Structures are given as structure tokens and as C-alpha cells.
Amino acid sequence: MLEASAVRPVVRVRDLWVEYSPASGLFGRRKILALRGVSFEVAEGETYGVVGASGSGKSTLLKAIMGFVKPTGGTVEIDGVDLYGVDGGTRRGIVRRIGYVSQNPLAAVDPRYRVRDIVAEPLRASGVSKREIDRVLSALLEMVDLDPGVMDLLPHELSLGMLQRVVIARAIAAKPRVLLLDEPTSALDSITQSHIVSLLGGLRDLFGYTSILVSHDLRVVARLASRLAIMMAGLMLEEGPTSSVLEKPLHPYARELVESLKLKEVGEVFTVNPNACPFYTRCSQRLDGRCREVPPLAEIGGARRVRCWLYT
Ligand SMILES: Nc1ncnc2c1ncn2[C@@H]1O[C@H](COP(=O)(O)OP(=O)(O)OP(=O)(O)O)[C@@H](O)[C@H]1O
Ligand code: SF4
Ligand SMILES: [Mg+2]
């Protein structure tokens, strides 16, 4: 899967490590390994899903791709350019072409800005003329199913669902090369969630975006992503085409997730030993000696990869 394919992927993440060093606390300075050697590729027009419980490293992965968090190891390439191998100006130019939609639309906007200024922000930043901005604003709002009448409203005058549509309009305004979606529906009620998932699916079909969607909710990822990865404790545990992972999940954690598809959230798993398989404490199939070591992510055919000693 990760071998060079005939067509260059739009996003290529290789052996990505991110370590946080929070300020010293009561128990001294404790380093947090948020990503441990994550590798994957996203092809042109593909939606790649990442599912995992809270703290598994999903947002860190997107932040590293946005250049917000500097990796401690590995590379992030966009269209073959290593984001951390170029100067700051070049990196900012690449990042400007990445659209970002976060979990909390309220935190994503400046409460003093009106909708027109929020959506126009990336257009202004890329030097689009005022006349052109006025022309495209209504079209952008229409695309996200908002009445152009909202243009002069402030964020607090909109519902959360409407505000998330505004954030999506801003993310697509500058015709991004890559769209990163960080739990775009988790702050919303279930009906609004469903509308936003349909909207994202419609926009993907219209523009053919290359996107990465992260979520706690396997159902959201299953509706939009053609391939997905399952993460825990900064490690990728399984990856494959969505249909084949849903049909036949291999990793014991993936099996649990698929079986509990009805549950909204992926249950938290606490890892005691960072050297052991992260599912060790909950796995009914653990092999006492072997599973005390982290297994490698093995390619097992059918474009599938799985990190479990049962397959290695
Ligand atoms: N700025 C930071 N400083 C220190 N630790 C951090 C920081 N940001 C994240 N972490 C830690 O890194 C790990 C991964 O966090 P991350 O936010 O990437 O997880 P997540 O999968 O997005 O979780 P959630 O579903 O809750 O959003 C967690 O243990 C988290 O506490
Ligand atoms: S490596 Fe061992 S503990 Fe981990 S999921 Fe596989 S069988 Fe279970
Ligand atoms: Mg997160």
C-alpha cells in the first residue's frame, strides 16, 4: 500500500512521531507520545477516514499536517513536497491550500466577525479582489445551503449547525487542495449531524476533494470515507478499504468497534504500559508473553494492514 504507486498521492505521511512535553507538574515532566510512527497515503479525490477514541492522536495528526505541531520524527508530504523540509514561507504557502474544519464551530470563528468576513477571510489572504469576493460569497453560502441573508449576522445569531456550515464555506472558499475535517459533526445534534454529513458528501462529489476525516464515530467515517484507519494511543491498529474493514474487521479492537456501530462513541481504553499492545488490557485474545510488546503494522493483502500478533 505504501510502496510508490504509479500516481503520486496528494498526502503522504511517513513514520510520523509527535511528542508533547507539557510543563512540569506535580509528578515532574512527563512526555506524551501522541503519534507513534504513523504512515499512510491519500490519493487524489479520496476521503480517508481516521477513527479512534479520545486521546488516540487524531487531532494531533491533522495539526501536524497543517504545520501547527512540529513532528519529532517522520515526514508529511503534500503533492510530493516535504512540509518540514522547506522554509517557513513555502510551508505557509502550502498550508494556505489546506482547508480545515474543526469540531467546535464556536471556537473556530471570531465572535466579532460577521459571516461575510469569516467566509471571505481565506479569499482576502490569497489576494482575491473585493469585487470577486462579493461575487463568490453568495455562491459559497448557497453551496452549504445557507440563505445569503445570513451574510450580515454575527456567530451568536446562528445555530451551531448553521455556524458549522459557515466554517465549511470558509474551508472551501480558497479551493483547497486538501480538506481536513476534525470531528466536524460531534458538537451537533443527531439530525444536524446527518445534514452536515450529507452536505460534506455532496461537496466531495461536486469538487472531488482530497480529504482526511477524523471522528470518534465510525458511522460518520463509514458514510464518507473510502478507506479508513483505526487508531489507539498514537498507533495505527488497522487500515483498509472501508467496505472490507466493515465486512471483516481483523484487529480485536476493530471487531469491537464494528460490532458496536450503534454506539455513538468509541470507548476509551487506558494503556498502562506504552511498550505493550495498546489493546492489551481489554483484549480477550491476548497472548501473555507476546502481547506485552507492540506488534508491527503488518501488510496482509487486499490493501489491508493490521497491528496485532494474531496476524504477524
Ligand atoms: N498541546 C498539548 N500538550 C500536551 N499534550 C497534548 C497536547 N495536545 C494533545 N495532547 C495529548 O496528546 C494525546 C493525543 O491528543 P489528541 O488531541 O491528538 O487526541 P484526539 O484523538 O484528537 O482526542 P479527542 O477525540 O479527545 O479530540 C492526548 O494524550 C492528549 O492529552
Ligand atoms: S496484539 Fe495481542 S493484545 Fe493486542 S489486539 Fe492482538 S491479540 Fe490482542
Ligand atoms: Mg481531537
Residue 57 Cβ < 6 Å to ligand 1: yes
- For residue 291, the ligand 2 atom closest to its alpha carbon is 2
- How far does the centroid of ligand 1 lie from the alpha carbon of residue 59, in Å? 7
Neighbouring C-beta atoms of residue 203, cutoff 10 Å? 19
Looking at residue 23, its pLDDT comes to 65
Taking a C-beta distance cutoff of 8 angstroms, is the pair 250, 308 a contact? yes
Does the beta carbon of 310 sit less than 6 angstroms from any atom of ligand 2? yes
Q: What is the pLDDT of residue 25?
A: 61
60 CA from centroid of ligand 1 (Å)? 6
Pairing mode, strands 178-182 and 47-52 = unpaired
pTM summary value: 0.90
- Is 25 buried (19+), middle (13-18) or exposed (0-12) by CB count in 10 A? exposed
Q: Any idea where the domains of the chain sit in the sequence?
A: 11-97+177-311
Domain 11-97+177-311, architecture per CATH: 3-Layer(aba) Sandwich (3.40)
Q: Give, using CA atoms, the residue closest to atom 2 of ligand 1.
A: 20
pLDDT at res. 3: 47
User: Each residue's pLDDT tens digit in the chain (312 positions)?
Assistant: 444 456 789 999 999 999 998 766 665 667 899 999 999 999 999 999 999 999 999 999 999 999 889 999 999 999 999 999 999 999 999 998 899 998 889 999 999 999 999 999 988 887 888 888 888 898 899 889 899 899 999 999 999 999 999 999 999 987 899 999 999 988 888 888 888 898 899 888 888 889 999 998 898 999 999 999 999 999 999 999 999 999 999 999 999 999 887 444 555 555 567 889 999 988 999 987 899 999 999 999 999 999 999 998
Q: How far, in Å, is the centroid of ligand 1 from the Cα of 184?
A: 17
